[in-house]
Amino acid sequence: MWSLAFKSLRRRKARTTLTILGITVVVMLSLLFLSVGYSTENKVIPSFQKLGIDLVVLQQTALAAPYSIMNESVAWEIAGYPEVAAVYPYIIQVLPLNTHSSNQTVVINALLPSRVVSFYQVQPVSGVYITDTTNDSIAVGVQAAKVLGVKAGDVVSIGFSPNAYSLRVAGVFTTFGTVDDYDLNMALPLAQRLFEKQGKISAVIMKLHDKSTADVVKSRIETAHPDLVVKTQDQYVADFSQPIRVLQGSIALVSGLAVAAGVFGVSNTMLMAVVERRREIGILRAIGTGTRQVLLTFLQEALVLGAIGGAGGILLGLVAANLLTIPSLIGITITLDVPIQLVAEAFAIALATALLGGLYPAARAARLHVADALHMA
C-alpha cells in the first residue's frame, strides 16, 4: 500500500510539492523554536550562575544591563561597605564588529581584569588577556571567536562608521563556561573613552562576605541612590533571559501559524485527491476493500507528505541553527544547539501535522458508498 501512496502523490506533482514545502517550513520553524528554548536553558542560565554573583546594581529604569547607565563612583562607594567582599563595575555595549570576512553585531563587556579575578577565572587560549590599562586592543571569548572567525593578532573595527575604532585582538580567552566566553572584553577606561562614557558604567556586580546580609546592603544602596535598583542573581538572570523568552514566544507564534497552515495545506491536497479518485475508491470498495483499508490508504499518503516535508525541514533547520545566533540585544550572543531529541520532536511535529491534515479527507474517502463513488466518477 505504501507504493500506491507514492504513485498517487507523484500523479499530482505540483500540489504535492507545494504541500511538502509547507510542511518543510513548519518543521524548520519548529526546530528553531525548540533549539532556542534548549540553548537558553542549557547555555545562558548556567553560564550566568557560574559568575558568583550575590547582588547587581543597575539603573532603576533600565530593562537590562546593556541599557543601564550610572556613575562609576557608586561602585567604589559600595566597595567600602563592610558587608561587601568584592565589586566588579562594567559597561556592556552592543555594537557592530567588522572583520576581514564578516560584519556582525557583538557584545562588548568593558571591565577591570584586576576586579574580575574575585568572581571567576580567566585563562588565555591564545595570545594574552587584557589588563586594566590596555588601550589599543581587546580580548575575545572562545565562543565569540568561533562565531566571528577571529584569532589573536587580527585587527577588527568596532562601532558605526564614520566613528568606528580599529583595535587589535590581543588574545582569545576562556572563563570556563561563564557568559564572557561569548563576549568581547575591553578595559573599562578604554571603553569609557571610546564610547564617551567617562565616569560612567552600566552596572556593578558584587560578592558579599555573608549572603544573609543581602537585604541590608540592598536597602542601604537603594536608600542612598533612589535612581538605582539592586537585584539578586536570579533576578539578574531573569532580566537577561526575558528577551530570549520574548524571542521564543514570537517563534512559537509563527511556528503555530505555520502548523495551522500546514494542516490546511495537507487537508486541501488530500480532499482534492478524494474528489479526483472517486472512481478508484469505488472500484476498491467494489472488489471488497474495507472502510478501514481505504482510510489507511489515504492516511499513508498524508504520512508520506509529512515524512518528506519533515526531513526537508530538519535539514533546513539544522543549517539555519548553524548560521544563526541569538542576537546580542540580550547582552550575550550564543549559538544554537540542536540535540537529537529536538530533531525527533520536530519530525514528530511533521507527522502530526500531516495526520491532522489528512484525517478528515481520509475519513471522507472511507465513507463513500460504492454506487455513489462510481456514479459521481
Return the pLDDT at 99. 82
Q: Which range, of 30-34, 74-78, 244-248, averages the lowest pLDDT?
A: 244-248
Higher pLDDT, 121 or 99: 121
Return the pLDDT at 257. 78
Q: Which of 114-118, 289-293, 323-327, 367-371 has the highest mean pLDDT?
A: 114-118
Reference 65, options 95, 91, 96, 97; nearest CA is 91
Return the pLDDT at 215. 94
Measured at the alpha carbon of residue 168, what is the angle toward residues 187 and 148, in degrees to the nearest 5? 95
| Average pLDDT for 32-37 | 80
Return the pLDDT at 330. 42
Return the pLDDT at 178. 83
Taking the model in full, what pTM does it have?
Answer: 0.67
Higher pLDDT, 252 or 189: 189
Q: How many CB atoms lie within 10 A of CB 369?
A: 11
The tens digit of pLDDT for each residue in 153-206 reads: 999 999 887 788 899 999 999 998 887 888 899 999 999 999 999 999 999 999
Return the pLDDT at 17. 79
**SS3 assignment, position 377:** coil
Return the pLDDT at 247. 64
Return the pLDDT at 275. 64
Q: Are 218 and 55 in contact (CB under 8 A)?
A: yes
pLDDT at 3 over 70: no
DSSP state of 288: T
Q: Which of 108-117, 251-260, 271-280 has the highest mean pLDDT?
A: 108-117
pLDDT at 219 over 70: yes
Q: Which of 4-8, 108-112, 269-273, 303-307 has the highest mean pLDDT?
A: 108-112
Burial of 37 (0-12, 13-18, 19+ CB in 10 A): middle
Q: Which three cell numbers stand for residue 312?
A: 526537508
The amino acid sitting at 36 is: V
Return the pLDDT at 336. 77
pLDDT at 93 over 80: yes
Return the pLDDT at 143. 84
At 152, is the pLDDT very low, low, confident or very high (cuts 50, 70, 90)? very high
pLDDT at 226 over 80: yes
Return the pLDDT at 329. 38
CA distance 203 to 56: 7
Percent of the chain with pLDDT over 90: 37
Higher pLDDT, 283 or 206: 206
CA distance 113 to 124: 13
Q: Which range, of 2-6, 54-58, 119-123, 295-299, averages the lowest pLDDT?
A: 2-6
Return the pLDDT at 328. 42
| Average pLDDT for 49-73 | 86
Q: Which range, of 55-64, 231-240, 272-281, averages the lowest pLDDT?
A: 272-281
CA distance 259 to 29: 9
Return the pLDDT at 55. 94
Which residues is 141 bridged to in the sheet?
A: 173
Higher pLDDT, 263 or 25: 25
| Average pLDDT for 49-78 | 88
Q: Which three cell numbers stand for residue 134?
A: 590596555
Return the pLDDT at 164. 87
pLDDT at 242 over 60: yes
Return the pLDDT at 65. 77
Higher pLDDT, 257 or 68: 68
Annotate 241-252 with DSSP letters as a single string: HHHHHHHHHHHH
Question: What's the gap between Cα 237 and its chain centre?
Answer: 16
